[in-house]
Structure 1
Amino acid sequence: MDRKSMKVKAKSAFKKHYWMIVVICLFASVFGVDYTSSTWSLDLAAPTDTVQTSQGTARSSGLTDILGELVVGNEVTARKQAKHNEEQIVRNDTNAVFGRKRGVLATLINSFSSGSVIISIFDAVNTVVYNGGAAVVVPVVLAMIVYIFVWLFIRQTYKIVMCRMLLEGRSYRKLPASRFLYPIHTRKWFRMAWIMFVTSAFMFLWSLTIIGGFIKSYSYRMVPYIVAENPNIGALDAINLSRRMMKGHKWECFVADLTFIGWFLLDSITLGLSGIFYSNGYNAAFFAEYYVYVRALAKQANLDGADLLCDECLYAKADPETVRNVYADVAKAVNDLESRLAPAPKPQGLAGFLSEWLGIRILHATSVNRYEEYREDSLQLQIGKDVLNGDVYPGRLAPAPMAYRFRESRTVRSSRSYSLVNLVMMFFIFCFVGWIWEVSLAFISEGMFVNRGTLHGPWLPIYGTGGVIILVLLKKLREKPALEFLAAMVLCGGLEYFSSWYLEQTHNGQRWWDYTGYFLNLNGRICAEGLLTFGLGGLALVYLLAPALDNLLNRLDVRKLAAVAAVLLVLYCADQVYSAQHPNIGAGITDYKGSDTSQIS
């Protein structure tokens, strides 16, 4: 193993796609997938300490130990261990920027770290079994579905997405943001989730042994890379192939991990900044190179199952003639479009101002529609050329082919303007998703259904308002992701601060959230962790979620959509008027004890 050469190659790949890899690793850190020390987002290893239980003295325990206590009937012990773990997390919170004491995100993260999420699910099952009322069953089932979906279909499959993007970045000049939707584009999302579920189940069983969990973590290390290369593979085939590939290489991989200890120490000293902006990406790029290394050895030795590693285009560009043949329709469409594409002038007047500066499209503004169509044609022309010239990975040649139709692949086009009707619908979608998110968090952390927010309906306007103002006010920054990230933090942070101040002024000092105790909090209204979440959420919204939603909404009849938007606006305004006199307060909303988002008296 030539580790020095591999690190040189890793640095080259990282430099080539610097900002994209930084974002990939930052999402991994926040999701708790990897590099969690950079944001202190997830630490499954509970602090070493002891706790008095009904069976005597026990050490702080993680998820598996708490689950084990519940399985053998030691419910009291499990509850005390989870509570003790939560207390230890707060007590040992020494990270200044990404704290663990308070905040919505910290509440969810700490519930995983401490094992209290297991207790919440256990209580939820008991509630359903012994109560059975629909009013209890619906929120309980909803919260459990959200938890399982986030853990399995986002957090676990993101490991595969991350590996796929790193492997493509090695060989290709451009790494499209659409690869974040790799599970969807390959139509293998459920298979990927199943493979990661089986792998996690095996790891859980091995973790019950003394050292099996540590050893098997290296045996199964290649599973996400294998699935990233060939999503058609079966779960047991991927696990067994990884085990064979790592036979005789586990110590070598362990030593490779040790060579990054200095970087991880620097990451801690710099409060995660060196990790976010350099060492995490460097480490990720290195282990992509390591996978390529062990893959080559497996192919050379003709290991059983090595024939399943069949995506050669990941490691060497396909023959130009092969690409031209597979994308013959694209080549013809590119030539046709290039021959007749004529520049369109920028729209002038009010319609032009709204489109250019605010991203708002008036339905009957012909000049805006023509200009945006020209920009879209130019973009699609460049994308088509990138595919034909071998600058991006040819998705049609993948083991699980990724569909691409020229001029119709517009899911992640971020430069578009949005119609007023679609913006209104997005506002309510964001409001509802935010409400589901916070209801789920409250259920996980408090074990009860909580109708979050000042309003009585299933919507949280701060989410909808934040999403829409990012799309509208930051239109000019969409071609500069770094500035978009910073501006989203500032804009949403200002919105959250003003909302907190306004609600307090108009409701006799009542607060619906309080970040007092967090480093870089401002009067308890905003905090560093929240600003980071706003920035990442803004990037996801601008470059992925909003364009995808816009595509879906554009498929619907505009008149029916406008009618639905009008009805929602009437209901929302009525809720605002009623809630101004009768705000949504009380148990679980503003005065439940111990909540990380409740008022501090």
Structure 2
Amino acid sequence: MWDRKELKSHARVSMRYNYWRCVIIAAILLFCIADFTFTKFNIVSSTIEVAKTINKDNWSYKQGFVGLQFKGKSNTEIINNFIHGITGEEPKMQKRYEGVLGSFINNINASDSVLFGILNTFNQFAFDDSLSAGVIILLGVILSILAIIFVKNLIVVGGCRFYMENHAYYSTDLVRIFMPFRVKKIRKQVVTMLMRSIYQFLWWFTIVGGFIKMYSYRLVPYIVAENPDVDYKTAINLSSRMMKGQKWNAFLLDLSFLGWRVGGYLSGGLLDIFIGNPYKSSTNVELYFELRKEALTAGIEDSSVLNDKYLEPESDSEVATGIGADYVDEYFTIPVYFKRMTYMGAVRKYTVLSYVLMFYVFAFGGWIWEVSFFLFMDGKFVKRGTMFGPWLPIYGFGGIIALICLHRFVKKPWFVFFCSFVLSGIIEYSTAWYLWETKKMKWWDYTNEFMNLNGRICLEGLLLFSVGCMLIIYYIAPHLDDLLKRINYKVRVIIAIILLIISTIDWVYSQSHPNTGEGITTSTLTVLSLQMGKQI
């Protein structure tokens, strides 16, 4: 019989060796479960509440519920009024931001839902807010159900897989949470988790039965995480057998975390995030392994599906890895697809000539990007940049600096992304400061963007630049370098010299006669006047 204190002691050990990853996985699980639960929206209440809140003066009727349209109001406003009508709360005045990310924030604030915020933003940009509120609500309900079935449930299984591996392999990687998606058994996993939810839901009609079955089916996601090929009947029945006679003790185990829950509430959730949730998840895994060991020892029916012996390498003399090593995909009882990314293409040294030519490719690519963006958004051609040629040096310098500084860290993609974010911020901010202070002109201004710094940089832009740097380092630069090397060396040298001469002449001329005009620049005096006018 397992001991509660012993389980928690083992959980603290495994959590301590891989603390931050345990915290991150627990936070992801909490976010998924919280974001995909129906607290304000479900199929029945959505339809009923819409029917209750219809104002015949503001509605036109077209083909029933899906065709309902409000007159004179955007869908964001309709969703906002709809939600606060359900909750009885007054809509809060929120600052309005510009840009795509700003629109997401505006819509999320308006609807109190990430999903509905995304739908409304897509509606505004793609359909000019022309989709009816009924369509938005219906899409939101459908996508919520699909997200629960195909994303949330598999993420829960993946979280269990991470903590199960972390039980023995103290350097378990974060990507193990995606293990369910990397085996060709997704359909079985989805069906098993869905049937577990349906059974649980039906048992709640008996009130007491729902509470009991919550503990009976507790081990299903762990069984699926160990063996994704198991069918739903076997997983549910095996979990019930393993939990037979253990439900009260499991309840007491949950009750022992009550103090942490109270502490989490008093700390505004911080204690839950950094200790409570990862601690409980680690303890639940220890419980699973104790019950798993008992089931295998007793030889209970269907226990043979618990066949991943590498989850407890210390108990098998044939395993050469041992505590502290990584769980290798080849150990898994089912073939694992989508292996870890290899970075051999990005691990290379570039020549000076390649850097020069790639500088102009990146500069030209940045110019094409910005011109295309303005053409798409405003429907007019705007020749962007301070120079007159088809290049934006800031993109060229940014790409080359990222390559030079970060190529040695290519095997740490998250670190590369973070460094790209910082580098992009430094380059863009310093360039903006130089141009604004010396030319008294603004070639860009993020003043109204979400999370901006003095209007010179903003979160949305830095995220885009960071993604761009990642693409350059891992994909564009290696392929471009291979392509350039196919060109005769002398031809490459001649091209580089010509580009250097033309761009140098352009740069010298633009120092005294920069490229300006409508859609390109705004004088600081004009910006100041506009801001003062808004305040007045």
TM-score, scaled to structure 1: 0.50
Shift of 1:310: 1.6
- SS of equivalent residue, structure 1 residue 171: coil
Which residue does 2:329 correspond to in 1?
A: 395
Paired residue for 2:524?
Answer: none
Question: 1:82–1:115: 8 Å Cα contact kept in structure 2?
Answer: no
Q: How does 1:37-48 map to 2 (within 5 A)?
A: 42=35, 44=37, 46=39
Partner of 2:192: 195
Instruction: State the distance in 1 between where 2:138 and 2:478 align.
Output: 32
Q: Which residue type is aligned with residue 411 of structure 1?
A: T
Counterpart residue number, 2:528 = none
How do residues 260-339 of structure 1 correspond to structure 2 at under 5 angstroms? 260-317=257-314, 319=316, 321=318
Q: Equivalences for 1:475-514 in 2 at 5 Å?
A: 513-514=449-450
Aligned 8 A contact 1:500 1:512 in 2: no
Alignment of 1:221 with 2:221, yes or no, is: no
- Relative to structure 1, the CA distance from residue 256 to residue 477 in structure 2 (aligned partners, 3 Å threshold; closer, same or farther) is farther
- Paired with 1:220 and 1:455, the residues of 2 have a C-alpha distance of 60
2:41 match: 63
CA distance in structure 1 between the aligned counterparts of 2:445 and 2:347, rounded to whole angstroms: 42
How far apart are residue 193 of structure 1 and its match?
3.5
The alpha carbon displacement at 1:306 in A equals 2.2
1:5 aligned to 2:2? no
TM-fit CA distance, 1:185:
3.7
Count of residues in correspondence between the two structures: 427
Assess if the C-alpha contact under 8 Å between 1:161 and 1:180 holds in 2.
Answer: yes
Distance 2:432 2:145 in 1: 32
Is the CA contact (8 Å cut-off) linking 2:432 and 2:442 kept in structure 1?
no
Query: Is residue 33 of structure 1 aligned with residue 9 of structure 2?
Result: no
Q: CA deviation at 1:131?
A: 9.6
SS at match of 1:63: coil
Deviation (angstroms), 1:196: 3.2
Q: Which amino acid aligns with 2:26?
A: C
Q: Is the contact made by 2:115 and 2:140 (CA closer than 8 Å) also made in structure 1?
A: no
Which letter does structure 2 place at the counterpart of 1:395? D
AA in 2 matched with 1:104: F
Query: Which is further off, 286-295 or 256-265?
Result: 256-265
> CA–CA distance in 2 between the matches of 1:512 and 1:104?
14
Against the structure 1 CA distance between its residues 73 and 105, is the aligned structure 2 distance closer, same or farther, given a 3 Å change threshold? closer
Cα deviations by residue, 1:56-83 (Å, 9 ceiling, x for unpaired):
xxxxxx334xx22356796436987633
Q: Is the 8 A contact 1:414 1:478 kept in 2?
A: no
- CA shift digits 1:154-182 (9 cap, x unpaired): 43322122211211111224324553442
Q: Check the 8 A contact 2:346/2:478 in 1, yes or no.
A: no
Structure 1: distance between partners of 2:422 and 2:18: 26
Whole-angstrom CA distance in 1 between matches of 2:257 and 2:90: 26
Structure 2: runs of 5 or more not aligned: 55-78, 95-101, 367-375, 382-391, 487-516, 521-533
The alignment status of 1:158 with 2:155, answered yes or no, reads: yes
Residue type of the alignment partner of 1:11? R
Aligned equivalents of 1:224, 1:144: Cα separation in 2 = 25
Asked whether the equivalents of residues 200 and 213 of structure 2 are also in contact (C-alpha less than 8 Å), the reply is: yes
Identity %: 28
Contact 1:513 1:525 in 2 (8 A): no
Query: Residue 225 of structure 1 aligns to a residue in which SS?
Result: helix
2:166 alignment partner, one of 150, 166, 169 = 169
| CA–CA distance in structure 2, aligned partners of residues 477 and 495 of structure 1 | 20
CA–CA separation in structure 1 for the residues paired with 2:20 and 2:169 = 15
Larger radius of gyration: 2
Q: Secondary structure at the match of 1:33?
A: helix
For normalisation by structure 2, the TM-score amounts to 0.55
SS of match in other structure, 2:167? helix
Distance 1:157 1:291 in 2: 18
User: Structure 2 vs 1, CA of residues 107 and 228 (structure 1 numbering), >3 Å: closer, same or farther?
Assistant: farther
Distance 2:200 2:349 in 1: 46
Q: Residue 417 of structure 2 contacts residue 466 of structure 2 at CA under 8 Å; is this kept in 1?
A: yes
Q: Note if contact 1:195-1:234 (Cα within 8 Å) is conserved in structure 2.
A: yes
| SS in structure 2 at match of 1:172 | coil
C-alpha separation in 2, matches of 1:77 and 1:21: 44
- Following superposition, the deviation at residue 8 of structure 1 comes to 0.7
Distance 2:138 2:477 in 1: 28
AA paired with 2:277?
Answer: N
Residues of 2 paired with 1:470 and 1:508: CA distance? 22
Q: Which amino acid in the other structure matches residue 21 of structure 1? A: C
- Corresponding residue number in structure 2 for 1:22: 23
Deviations 1:108-130 (A, max 9, x none): 5985869968998xx99xx9xx9
Is this contact kept in 2: 1:83–1:114, CA < 8 A? no
Please say if 1:411 is aligned against 2:342. Answer: yes
User: Which residue identity does 1:169 align to in structure 2?
Assistant: N
Could you tell me which residue of structure 1 aligns to residue 253 of structure 2? 256
Compared CA separation, residues 174 and 524, structure 1 to 2 (3 A): same
Once the 2 structures are TM-superposed, how far is the Cα of residue 270 of structure 1 from its aligned partner? Answer: 3.9
Residues 180-214 of structure 1: CA deviation (Å, up to 9, x unaligned): 44234433344434433444444555567756665
Q: 2:263 & 2:442 partners in 1: Cα distance?
A: 46
The 8 Å contact of residues 164 and 228 in structure 1, kept in 2 or not, is answered as: yes
Q: Distance in 2 between matches of 1:301 and 1:206?
A: 29
1:455-511 CA-partner distances (Å, limit 9, x unpaired): 99xxxx9xxx999988876566778899778757756777998999999x8599886
Cα distance in 1 for partners of 2:477, 2:186 equals: 23
What's the offset of the Cα at 1:292?
1.4
Distance 1:414 1:264 in 2: 48
Q: How far apart are the structure 2 equivalents of 1:476 and 1:197? A: 45
Partners of 1:471 and 1:202 in 2: CA distance = 54
**1:161·1:179 contact (CA, 8 Å) conserved in 2?**
yes
Could you list the runs of 5+ residues in structure 1 that have no partner in the other structure?
A: 37-41, 47-61, 94-101, 325-385, 432-450, 516-520, 563-579, 584-598
Q: Which residue of 1 aligns with 2:52?
A: 76
Is residue 171–residue 324 contact of structure 2 (8 Å, CA) maintained in 1? no
How far the C-alpha of 1:229 sits from its partner, in A, is 0.4
Contact 1:320-1:390 within 8 A present in 2 as well: no
Amino acid at match of 1:63: F
Per mean C-alpha deviation after superposition, the further-off stretch among 6-15 and 178-187 is 178-187
Q: Is the 8 A contact 1:237 1:305 kept in 2?
A: yes
- Checking the alignment, whether the CA contact within 8 Å between 1:225 and 1:291 is kept in structure 2 is yes
- Is the contact between residue 160 and residue 228 of structure 1 (CA under 8 Å) also seen in structure 2? yes
Question: Aligned equivalents of 1:165 and 1:494: distance in 2?
Answer: 36
Structure 1's 70 and 581: CA in aligned 2 closer, same or farther, altered over 3 A?
A: same
Question: Shift of residue 224 of structure 1?
Answer: 1.7
CA contact (8 A) 2:84 2:90 kept: no
The residue type equivalent to 2:104 in the other structure is: V
